[in-house]
Amino acid sequence: MSFKKPNELVDVFINTIGKNKTNYKIGQIFLLGLLAGVYISFGALSALKSYSFIENHAIASLLAGALFSVGLMLIIIGGGELFTGNSLILLSVMTKKVKVVSMLRNWLYVYLSNFLGALFIVFLIINSGLLYQGNDLNAIGETTVSIALQKTHLTFSQAFIKGILCNWLVSLAVWLSLASEDITGKILGIFFPIMTFVYLGFEHSIANMFIIPLGCVLSQDVTLSGLIKNLIPVTLGNIIGGSVFVGLFYFLTYNYYSKKTN
């Protein structure tokens, strides 16, 4: 199974991927971002269902991580623009291939379109009856409310750190998937880092754009202020986890310091 080495990946991100992402037209970004929000929501809902019917938390978390990884597989292989993965555009900024304003514009548009995609699935799921048994919430609905409440009651520092750890792994999943030159390798590269972040209970801003609003619709105990309280630190943590601990570290290792040595 052939694959790109880390130094080759740095070159690909700097010279191709970062530039291509920031050259998309607004309509393209919106559609691809919308799809990514939808795909992550599919993965998140699957994870919620596993938590609803498996009593052993460790096993439920393991299955939830396996199911959630499908979301990123759909994005990477099927096509989509995900805010957390796009933190790696920083590689192109550091080599002046992409302007800072272009990166920030991409992040903003993708973030908003991811949010719209997630809210669209919230609307569909609520109207599907999937979370109700008669007039009452079923096990999946109750689990959704419980997890949404847990997320909205994290302290700023807890949410921020969990956001860093999450996107460190998510960005590595993107990194490993692009290292592979065939679909099987891409799937394996995505699967294990994503399963690990879910299993360990870290915080993903785009997944939370689905889970917490869904909880808001299902219960008055989950509030919009709680959503904002969660998304701000988690988003900031996601940016640092991907752009600094993956993008910057690999840039310094395989671009900056290697050229200094030569």
Supply the pTM of this predicted model: 0.95
pLDDT score of 262: 54
What fold, for 6-253?
Answer: Glycerol uptake facilitator protein (1.20.1080)
pLDDT score of 181: 86
Report residue 204: phi and psi, to 5°: -110, 120
CA dist 212 and 148 (Å) reads 5
What are the domain boundaries of the chain? 6-253
Taking 70 as the pLDDT cut, the residues of the chain under it are: 1, 256-262
pLDDT score of 259: 64
What Rg value do the Cα atoms of the chain yield, rounded?
A: 18
pLDDT score of 197: 98
pLDDT score of 1: 55
Closest CA to 149 of 226, 228, 246: 226
Sign of CA dihedral 160, 249, 22, 188: negative
pLDDT score of 174: 97
pLDDT score of 261: 54
Q: 3-state SS of the chain?
A: CCECCHHHHHHHHHHHHHHHHHCCCHHHHHHHHHHHHHHHHHHHHHHHHHHHHCCCHHHHHHHHHHHHHHHHHHHHHHCCCCCCHHHHHHHHHHCCCCCHHHHHHHHHHHHHHHHHHHHHHHHHHHHHCCCEECCEECHHHHHHHHHHHHHHCCCHHHHHHHHHHHHHHHHHHHHHHHHECCHHHHHHHHHHHHHHHHHHCCCCHHHHHHHHHHHHHHCCCCCHHHHHHHHHHHHHHHHHHHHHHHHHHHHHHHHHHHHHHC
